Structure 1
């Protein structure tokens, strides 16, 4: 994705994920929050809806997500009280449409930091299955495996933007933009 139009802060939007083969994956009801040196941020208030074929989830707590310019991952940081502090979806071509909505291809691997369980790379079994079944190109496989290891290291070190202060800033911005 290139440098395309962004909505105004506070604008409601849908973040649409698909799989490598083009099939529909998660769709998240979000609010555009703004951008910083790491990329663009969107958020979900408690009660926001996320759905995919066969499953619907209502956010129990607020969360904020970062869409960095590289398009290889999307970071979600949950508000305090949620057991999962960090959830990073490894992605391909994550970015913005010409109409100002975030999109991405979910590439199975996730980096997770969950209270009581630590930090790990999740869904390796799904990754192994899909890279064959969906025909992930070898260069994409090699790149995203390295990105997952790099992200795991950065999350473990609590480097920005994977730190509490960055999440707190954007969670506060979400509260300001959605207060009525």
Structure 2
């Protein structure tokens, strides 16, 4: 299966080879074992460590993050053995959804990211420069910008506090399940 990001203007962005692992109260979990590929125009890489990605569940027609949202606005990737110590990488997005046949998750990458690195760097909101540049270039609607800026700060707080599903134990369960599959590239 694939997780396909695009940009606000419809242009192709990252595409990740993944395997569907299952779901829990937080949403659907995808896995990407070491050796699988991630590509975007102009860049291709083979991942060196396992990772899992959470696509948050809808709860009573409301996105996971906060009330008033009609779709999940982010995808959380948790890495194991990342070469730079990056444990959590949250892509803030828009219109994240599953294809009708369930073979692909898609979404609009909205530039802002929340990152947690094990070590002194800690947790922060990343790519504010890209956010500013693309909001002007693509004409992001003001209400979308407001919602995602607030969400970025909320997620930063939750990641820093390591509240589920942003704690290690929640993702480690899915990372263990991924590695037990012993998938090859």
**Structure 2 length-normalised TM:** 0.87
Select which of 95, 98, 102 maps to 1:96: 98
Give the unaligned 5+ runs of structure 2: 58-62, 64-71
Give the unaligned 5+ runs of structure 1: 1-12
Aligned-residue offset at 1:118: 1.1
SS at match of 1:153: helix
CA contact (8 A) 1:33 1:177 kept: no
CA contact (8 A) 2:97 2:107 kept: yes
| Partner Cα distance (1:81, 1:145) in 2 | 27
Residue 81 to residue 131, structure 1, CA distance change in 2 (3 Å): closer
Residue 169 to residue 128, structure 1, CA distance change in 2 (3 Å): same
Aligned to 1:131: 135
User: Which range moves more in the overlay, 24-33 or 110-119?
Assistant: 110-119
Aligned-residue offset at 1:81: 5.2
User: Which range moves more in the overlay, 73-82 or 165-174?
Assistant: 73-82
| Partner Cα distance (2:145, 2:112) in 1 | 11
Any runs of at least 4 consecutive aligned residues in structure 1 with deviations exceeding 4 A, and if so which? Answer: none
| Partner Cα distance (1:23, 1:109) in 2 | 17
SS at match of 2:113: strand
Select which of 142, 156, 160 maps to 1:156: 160
User: Which range moves more in the overlay, 147-156 or 75-84?
Assistant: 75-84
| Partner Cα distance (1:81, 1:135) in 2 | 34
Aligned-residue offset at 1:117: 1.1
Aligned-residue offset at 1:57: 1.5
CA contact (8 A) 1:76 1:86 kept: yes
CA contact (8 A) 1:61 1:79 kept: yes
Query: Number of residues paired by the alignment?
Result: 168
| Partner Cα distance (2:32, 2:122) in 1 | 24
